[in-house]
Structure 1
């Protein structure tokens, strides 16, 4: 019986490029890589039997994909639509699984803090929603609606009655204005706060530098070498940092930081220097503002709203310190921390640029409007906040 001749395959340059990406791509599915390889070998004029031996498939498989490509091109290498197996779960069952995932476990009487896919699968069977269901099926159904009940985010409701006024003062200062009047060239804005409890953790074994195919290794066990507080004042518009290390926070350490800054030019002879601070005990309330003005008459203390330290730009600098200086924590003593922080200040000030702060008072009004609408739609949450 004569052998059926192989279908000739001709490739355009673009087709060859795409087939090579499919055949050698690390993330290409196995079946797509296999089909692309068959077509590439067929384009070289090889026989079906030889291709089958090289790709390790049967000759009929080579003949099928070679013929499909010859008739339909790259699109023919994809799987054809199939009716598939009938669905195992009805639309109502799928909706009930998703509804269960959108409830807190405590509300349903289950002693869990949050759902996981295995726990959801178990609860679905317990409630009789389905006779049986696998964890992967639950995960696949939730994925369709981007539901991830095992994740959570914390948030805090606005509790400061003067939130809008206080936040607007801070945001306006970032935009070079105060009470509707542009700041002059001899007026400056300082953002200040304390980073507490920076520990000296003396590792029991030396830290190993990264190597080929190996991350830096830091020993898990350590001895405690004490802790200190890092106080920093950040000139918002000049991107200059002034810092100092203290044994603890308090009024005296904070005033020492203020004196460190205000004794230098251009702040000593400035018309006004605005100090943005949060509501920590070192600088809380009117007494702290009066104390600051008494010591340095050209200063004005501006408080951020309660629970709104995110409006204080120095927190961004502290996040930089945490990533680049403190983590991973491997210091032999507190003096090493002080030296590292002082050296980092010099390094930072040499190249620093002002932070690109984009949140304005207009954005603030939009945020408050959304919160008002949310509170109006959920009055029980507002009542709970007021009761707290």
Structure 2
């Protein structure tokens, strides 16, 4: 008998976004992560047997979840409902709870800036929506509906008119391409930036190491020993860092970092070295690009879009420095800070691997499409308000 053909999988931009978030999210449950990875592999046209070998699953498991997604989409990846205890609350009560959570407390006459689950539970009881309800029940409802009224996020509209073009250039360099052509073996990509105000805080009492049933204890009071700026240049594909400490940031300290990197091999004799930087004052605009190319003809300055420092991979390294070197901050003076940073560079370079950068141009297009929809909806709402006024 002929072998059964695997179900073809085609993803929309929204499906791909949710699946990648589930497949690589740190807080995703293991089962949800595996199912998302199966679908993503299937969307690339891979066979069930190959997917099973790569993820180390039985081929029947791969076939099951591939088929469920093909016939039911994202909702089909969830566990099917099972019978249980009869519901204590009606769907109307659940809907009224979520509607209240969507309102600002000030609109309900409550002197709060944000709702918490205990406060929502008390408000539901006060309004007679429920005779009694626990905060954990409210929390479960909102978690299932992705509403967390006790949290908030700040955000900003894209203001750079060339956002896509600039972001695409940076993403292309991470994929070892420039202007549609692959980079040569003698071309390198450097991600550089400054970490400002790394302080030396001398604790008034020594830090106590972890003990039996006790976490490490860091004394709250400290004396200030000054601050320095840490400048780093990260080779994106070799995962090597060159850094230096300066008294402050600025054009001269940044050019000192460039000179330190470009005067050593393999960058000194490279055909081109691309420097990916943000729009900080030390390396902003065409003047900075001209200054860099005048000092080093084989250096090319590439700016990220405005308000898009998250596209700069050196920021990931700086987050590791903050977690592993700076916090908790307990240094006697700035010399100790500099020595610790240099020692960490040597330790990092000995074992580091390139970052697994997963944000591609397809993800960029999906992001811009979502932002465009939000912008259009906001403008329509403003127009409606203006007409009503």
Query: Shared fold (TM-score greater than 0.5)?
Result: yes
Give the match's secondary structure for 2:160: coil
Are residues 117 and 217 of structure 1, via their aligned partners in 2, closer, same or farther at CA, if it must alter by over 3 Å? same
Are residues 181 and 287 of structure 1, via their aligned partners in 2, closer, same or farther at CA, if it must alter by over 3 Å? same
Structure 1 residue 219 displacement after superposition:
0.9
What is aligned with 2:256? Answer: 256
Inter-partner Cα distance in structure 1 for 2:140 and 2:166? 46
Structure 1 residue 344 displacement after superposition:
0.9
8 Å contact from structure 2 (residues 125, 133) kept in 1: no
Are residues 135 and 229 of structure 1, via their aligned partners in 2, closer, same or farther at CA, if it must alter by over 3 Å? same
Deviations 1:264-302 (A, max 9, x none): 111112111111000001011111111111111111100
Does the alignment pair 1:346 with 2:319? no
Inter-partner Cα distance in structure 1 for 2:249 and 2:345? 20
Inter-partner Cα distance in structure 2 for 1:159 and 1:299? 28
What is aligned with 2:286? Answer: 286
Are residues 176 and 94 of structure 1, via their aligned partners in 2, closer, same or farther at CA, if it must alter by over 3 Å? closer
Deviations 1:214-240 (A, max 9, x none): 221111111111111100001111111
What is aligned with 2:7? Answer: none
Number of positions where the alignment pairs a residue of Structure 1 with one of Structure 2 = 300
What is aligned with 2:364? Answer: 364
Does the alignment pair 1:317 with 2:306? no
Structure 2 counterparts to residues 87-98 of structure 1, below 5 A: 87=88, 91-98=91-98
Structure 1 residue 380 displacement after superposition:
4.8
What is aligned with 1:178? Answer: 178
Structure 2 counterparts to residues 297-336 of structure 1, below 5 A: 297-336=297-336
Moved more, 98-107 or 225-234: 98-107
What is aligned with 2:219? Answer: 219
Structure 2 counterparts to residues 131-150 of structure 1, below 5 A: 132-136=131-135, 138-139=138-139, 141-142=141-142, 145-150=145-150
Structure 2 counterparts to residues 116-265 of structure 1, below 5 A: 116-124=116-124, 128-130=127-129, 132-136=131-135, 138-139=138-139, 141-142=141-142, 145-265=145-265
Structure 1 residue 357 displacement after superposition:
1.2
Are residues 138 and 83 of structure 1, via their aligned partners in 2, closer, same or farther at CA, if it must alter by over 3 Å? closer
Inter-partner Cα distance in structure 2 for 1:312 and 1:276? 7
8 Å contact from structure 1 (residues 201, 330) kept in 2: yes
Give the match's secondary structure for 2:307: coil
Give the match's secondary structure for 1:350: helix
Structure 2 counterparts to residues 103-114 of structure 1, below 5 A: 103-114=103-114
8 Å contact from structure 2 (residues 93, 130) kept in 1: no
Are residues 329 and 282 of structure 1, via their aligned partners in 2, closer, same or farther at CA, if it must alter by over 3 Å? same
Give the match's secondary structure for 2:315: helix
Inter-partner Cα distance in structure 2 for 1:335 and 1:223? 15
Task: Select the structure of larger CA radius of gyration.
Answer: 1
Inter-partner Cα distance in structure 2 for 1:279 and 1:120? 43
Structure 1 residue 368 displacement after superposition:
1.4
Are residues 336 and 297 of structure 1, via their aligned partners in 2, closer, same or farther at CA, if it must alter by over 3 Å? same
8 Å contact from structure 1 (residues 93, 129) kept in 2: no
Structure 1 residue 381 displacement after superposition:
7.4
Are residues 382 and 215 of structure 1, via their aligned partners in 2, closer, same or farther at CA, if it must alter by over 3 Å? farther
Moved more, 93-102 or 133-142: 133-142
Inter-partner Cα distance in structure 2 for 1:363 and 1:83? 42
Give the match's secondary structure for 1:245: strand
Structure 2 counterparts to residues 368-383 of structure 1, below 5 A: 368-380=368-380
Give the match's secondary structure for 1:154: coil
Could you tell me the TM-score, scaled by structure 2's length? 0.71
Structure 1 residue 109 displacement after superposition:
4.4
Structure 1 residue 105 displacement after superposition:
2.2
Inter-partner Cα distance in structure 1 for 2:306 and 2:86? 60
Inter-partner Cα distance in structure 1 for 2:189 and 2:261? 12
